[in-house]
Amino acid sequence: MPAEFSTIQAAVAAVGRGEVVIVVDAEDRENEGDFICAAEKATPEVINFMLHGLGDFCMAVLPDTCQRLDLKPLVDSNTTRLETAFLTPLDHISTQTGITAQERAQTVQAIIDPSTGPGDFVRPGHVHLLLAKEGGVLRRAGHTEAAVDLARMAGLAPGGVLCEILNDTGNRASRDQLLALAAEHNLEIISIEELIAHRRLSEKLVTRTASASLPTQYGDFRVIVFDVKYEDQEPIALVRGTPSESKQAPLVRMHSSCFTGDLIQSLRCDCGDQLRMALDTIGQEGCGVLVYLPQEGRGIGLREKIKAYDLQDAGFDTVEANHALGFKADMRDYGIGIQILKDLGLSQVRLLTNNPKKAEAFNLRGFDLRVVDQVPILPPANEHNAQYLATKRDKLGHQMPENSD
């Protein structure tokens, strides 16, 4: 049984060859694995194999296909928990009943064919259609979007077929069972989480939308606002000097927003202290970048962070509080920040951080941006954040002040 998942590149290559891959979503979402194949490559043999997943056999399509074939939502009001966008199920007009693997393959090939129209199909049918969001997994972290993304990334028509995988008892297959299934059939297996991370690194998603000089108490900076394609956020870069022309790797701070620490100087965390120390360090050196990313509360958002604070008041530590709310200890992603640094022309950085895993994330994700040095930022602890700092040190591997016990 494989010890770990496949790379995204391996899965895309397999899809391009017409092979089936297994895609799993987050454990706090559906916690489900699906067989997925590009619609363009969905032969009767492939579909027959996928039906062994025992779940619903579906086809994911984009809005232009819906318009071409006059597909409608299956219900007027979608009340499913994850808003899975079921559409009119179809059979091709040439099929007998539409239920066989051969007939489903005929229907799938006709749906993906841009020359077909509404009159080429009967409805309802046996191929269940799902509407994928434009932008794919960057807008919705579902198997529907993953199926379309993988086909598109493989250079094929943007449509995919998928079937949920159940185990012998009729329940969702576990991660271990999915890994064993992948090994048994020599299939690539990936997670939607990693597919999102890959796209955030491999596709050009950031665009400069505004820029101006910004004198500060730490020196003169240039502030640049970015737009992120498919995402509702506006990250900021504060640039001191001309870091792209620096003889040595410039100082860089990748800072996640913290309303309580950054704006009102809360004593519950060290975020505001790190922000100010990073700006001061960059200001004194005369060259560097601070990227400000809107991912509050290690990625869980301001409301959930405040809920976590309440749990911490009841005796939880910061990691336990996140877990109690159904989140991972750290939900942050630095793909957009890395794209911003690349847009600024950087290839090497000295990273201002206490988190060794952040430096590893830069170097291990296959992007042309290397951390040549990790420069700690160690603000003093206080009575309100001592346990918080100790938890980051002991459970998250951060470098923390010695008096944070």
**pLDDT tens, 66-93?**
999 999 988 777 777 777 888 989 999 9
CA 255 – CA 262 distance, rounded (Å)? 10
Position 306 scores a pLDDT of 94
DSSP one-letter string for 190-202: EEHHHHHHHHHHH
CATH 3.20.19.10 correct for 204-295+332-396: no
Q: Is the pTM of this model over 0.75?
A: no
At residue 405, the pLDDT reads 37
Q: Which residues contact 251 (CB under 8 A, 6 or more apart)?
A: 278, 281, 282, 285, 287, 288, 289, 349, 350, 352, 375
Supply 297's token pair.
């509360």
Tell how far CA 183 is from the center of its chain: 25
pLDDT in tens, 156-192: 999 999 999 999 999 999 999 999 999 999 999 999 9
Q: Which two tokens stand for residue 205?
A: 């998603």
Give the pLDDT confidence score for residue 367 in this predicted structure.
58
* Helix, strand, coil percent content, the chain, rounded in steps of 5: 40, 25, 40
Say whether pLDDT at 146 is over 70: yes
Structure tokens at 317: 């530590």
Residues annotated as catalytic (active site), given as ranges? 330, 332
What values do phi and psi take at 325, rounded to 5? -85, 0
- 339, 345, 349, 352 alpha-carbon torsion, rounded to 10°: -60
Q: Which of these, 221, 386, 401, 247, lies nearest to 317 by C-alpha position?
A: 386
Is residue 314 classed exposed, middle or buried when 0-12, 13-18 and 19+ CB atoms within 10 A define those classes?
A: exposed
User: Average pLDDT for residues 16-45, to the nearest whole number?
Assistant: 90
Of 323, 197, 196, 302, give the one whose Cα is nearest residue 256: 302
Pairing status of strand 236-240 against strand 251-256: unpaired
Average pLDDT over residues 370-377: 90
pLDDT for the residue numbered 403:
43
Q: Which residue has the higher pLDDT, 365 or 286?
A: 286
Residue 220 CB coordination number (10 Å): 12
Per-domain boundaries in the chain? 8-200, 204-295+332-396
Percentage of residues in the chain having pLDDT higher than 90: 64
Residue type, 165: I
**Residues 262/293, Cβ–Cβ less than 8 Å:** no
In angstroms, the CA 379 to CA 373 distance is: 19
Give the confidence band of 141 by pLDDT, cuts at 50, 70, 90.
Answer: confident
pLDDT digits (tens, 9 = 90+) for 312-324: 999 898 888 888 9
* pLDDT grade for 390, boundaries at 50, 70 and 90: confident
The string of pLDDT tens digits covering residues 337-371 is 888 999 999 989 999 998 877 777 665 455 578 89
CB 270 within 8 A of CB 379: yes
Average pLDDT, integer, range 117-123: 95
DSSP string, 312-347: HHTT--HHHHHHHTT--S-----HHHHHHHHHTT-S
Per-residue pLDDT tens digits for 229-281 = 888 889 999 999 999 999 999 999 999 999 999 999 999 988 999 999 999 99
Which of 2 and 148 is assigned the larger pLDDT? 148
Residue type at 1?
M
Residue 39 tokens, joined: 């619609």
pLDDT of residue 395: 72
The encoded tokens of residue 228 equal 């992120």
Identify the pLDDT of residue 135.
87
Is residue 48 classed as helix, strand or coil in its secondary structure? helix
Phi-psi region of 297 (alpha: psi -120 to 50; beta: other; left: phi over 0): left
Average pLDDT for the chain: 89
Fold that domain 8-200 belongs to in CATH: DHBP synthase (3.90.870)
What confidence score (pLDDT) does residue 77 get? 74
Shortest CA distance to 138 belongs to which of 197, 202, 59? 197
pLDDT band, very low/low/confident/very high, at 57 (cuts 50, 70, 90): very high
Nearest-angstrom CA–CA distance, 291 and 229: 17
**Strand 288-293 relative to strand 251-256, pairing:** parallel
Instruction: State the Cα–Cα distance between residues 75 and 66, nearest whole angstrom.
Output: 15
